[in-house]
Amino acid sequence: MNTKLYIQSYCKIKNNTIFFNGNPVFKDTKAENLKDFLKSTYKHLGLKYGKFFKMDNLSKLAFLASEIIFKETKIDTENENVAIVFSNNASSLETDRKHQMSINDKDNYFPSPAIFVYTLPNIGIGEISIRHQLKSENAFFVFNKYNAEFHYNYEKSLIQTKKADAVLSGWVNVDDDTNYETFMYLVSKNGKLEHNKKQLNKLY
Amino acid sequence: MENLKQELKAKIIENLNLEDFKVEDIEDNDPLFGDGLGLDSIDALELIVMLDKDYGIKISDPKKGKEIFESIQTMAQFIMDNKTK
């Protein structure tokens, strides 16, 4: 039997601005690059999580969007099984470039372990899972563009087959300091926005 | 030795992204791992790279890392005894 599902809340981050459920909640016009914007967002949210500063920009972006959604939605991540499904088109390219820079010169060959560990896009899922002690289903896909139909079917399948109570899902992409965006949302049995392909495309 | 210890504190904060710490927050004998600065295994690898890159020291026996990286004091002493640049 198909249970009706909803987009309980959603968060978009782009051009140094954060929107939650369609409303602007934070904007930093002074940040000169993505790293600075992510740091000012961290401070704005009043977070105390030292590991944040060790993350690469892609993980930080995913982490902050998830913090906003979990906090504002008041979801009980300890007792609800929340799966995570993300996608993007740049994979971990920004960090891959940094790693490549550190190994280009054979006479100055000092790859950084702290950078290397982020040369996979799904590490951000791990960071969110560690933060909220999630031991749930997760996947990270690389597509040319946000694929609402794929996401809709995957999210629905996870909940309908009882693999998850809710799904934190969406598009988390970082190419460089100016080309980045997040469209993240929580799919669950609660909410007002019906979960379907048309709705996902509209919100994106 | 004192200059080296200050230098190490600044480098550790910078290289390991310890945004919550300042140089003056770190005592020479504070444990770097566990209850002290709370460094993790990736940080340990980063410190090994730092010794190689900045002081020309290659650690061939990883087991020695535990005593070398016990504190700023032990790190500084190890560097003084073994640096090649």
Q: Which of A50, A111, A114 sits opposite B42 (nearest CB)?
A: A114
Tokens (6 digits) for A162: 């009882």
How many domains does one find in chain A? 1
Residue range B59-68, pLDDT digits in tens = 988 788 889 9
List pLDDT tens digits, range A32-91: 999 999 999 999 999 999 899 999 999 999 999 999 999 999 888 888 999 999 999 999
Q: Can you give the residue range of the structural domain that contains A131?
A: 6-203
**In the predicted structure, residue B34 carries a pLDDT above the cut 90:** no
For β-strands A6-14 and A17-20, DSSP reports them as antiparallel
Predicted confidence (pLDDT) at residue B85 exceeds the cutoff of 90: no
Q: Which of A39, A110, A117 sits opposite B49 (nearest CB)?
A: A110
Q: Residue with structure tokens 């000092």?
A: A110
Query: What CATH number is associated with residue A111?
Result: 3.40.47.10
- Give pTM, 2 decimals: 0.93
Is pLDDT at A195 greater than 90 in this prediction?
A: yes
Give the containing element (helix H, strand E) for A19: strand A17-20
CA distance to A53, A133, A146, B52, per residue, from B15 (Å):
11, 27, 35, 14
Most A CBs within 10 A among B37, B40, B49, hence the mutation to make, goes to B49
What the block records as the tokens of A86 is: 């993300």
Q: Give the span between the Cα atoms of B66 and B48, in whole angstroms.
A: 11
Which one of A48, A53, A56 would you mutate to disrupt binding with B, by most B Cβ within 10 Å of its Cβ? Answer: A53
Supply the range of the domain harboring residue B48.
2-82
Residue A29 is predicted with a pLDDT of 92
Query: Does any domain span residue A87?
Result: yes
pLDDT classification of A1: cutoffs 50, 70, 90? low
What pLDDT shows up at residue A36? 95
Contact yes or no for A112 and B46 at CB 8 A: yes
**pLDDT reported for residue A177:** 85
What is the pLDDT, as a whole number, of residue A153? 98
- CA–CA separation, B13 vs B23, rounded Å? 8
* Alpha-helix residue ranges (DSSP H) falling in B28-71: 41-55, 65-68
Kindly state the percentage of chain A with pLDDT values over 90.
93
CB contacts < 8 A (A, B): 30
Per the prediction, chain A carries an average pLDDT of 95
* pLDDT confidence tier of residue A16, bands split at 50, 70 and 90: very high
Mean pLDDT, to the nearest integer, of B44-73?
Answer: 92
Between strands A6-14 and A193-194, the pairing is antiparallel
Q: pLDDT per residue over A114-158, tens digit each?
A: 999 999 999 999 999 999 999 999 999 999 999 999 999 999 999
The pLDDT of B7-28, averaged and rounded, is 94
User: Is A34 part of any domain?
Assistant: yes
Query: How high is the pLDDT of residue B62?
Result: 74
Interchain contact, B38 vs A113, CB within 8 Å: no
**Chain-chain contact of B17 with A110 (C-beta, under 8 angstroms):** no
Contact of A64 with A53, CB cutoff 8 Å: no
**pLDDT score, position B64:** 85
Q: What is the pLDDT of residues A87-113, one digit of tens each?
A: 999 999 999 999 999 999 998 899 999
Indicate whether A117 belongs to any domain: yes
pLDDT above 80 for A2: no
Q: What angle do CA A148, A130, A64 make, to 5 degrees?
A: 55
Q: Quick one: closest CA in A to B40, which residue? A: A51
- Residue A24 pLDDT: 97
Task: Give the total number of structural domains in chain B.
Answer: 1
